[in-house]
Amino acid sequence: MLHMIARGATNNEIADRLYTSRRTVELHRANMMRKLGLKHLTEVIRYVPCSEASCPPELAHDSGESNPKRGS
């Protein structure tokens, strides 16, 4: 779900794909962000590691880049 959020999917798009309600997605999103200490979508995008399979080239991180939220 975090990958879908980081790629810019809306709550409705995520709900459709996961066969659940929009409200369920909103609650899961809020809980994940709270537990990870993320307050903004830009923080989610930086937190989620990208690979060639999961992100478009313009969002893929360099392999040498560290993720400050993960302590790398």
Between 68 and 29, the more confident residue is 29
For residue range 6-31, list pLDDT tens digits in order: 888 999 999 999 999 999 999 999 99
Q: pLDDT category, 72, cuts 50, 70, 90?
A: very low
Q: Which residues, at least 6 apart from 22, have a Cβ–Cβ distance to it below 8 Å?
A: 11, 12, 15
Give, in degrees to the nearest 5, the angle at Cα 64 between 60 and 67.
70
What's the pLDDT at 42?
86
User: In the chain, what are the helix, strand and coil shares in percent, each to the nearest 5?
Assistant: 55, 0, 45
Q: Which tens digit of pLDDT belongs to each residue from 21-62?
A: 999 999 999 999 899 898 988 888 888 876 545 565 555 554
Domains of the chain: 2-65 (1.10.10)
Q: What is the pLDDT of residue 23?
A: 97
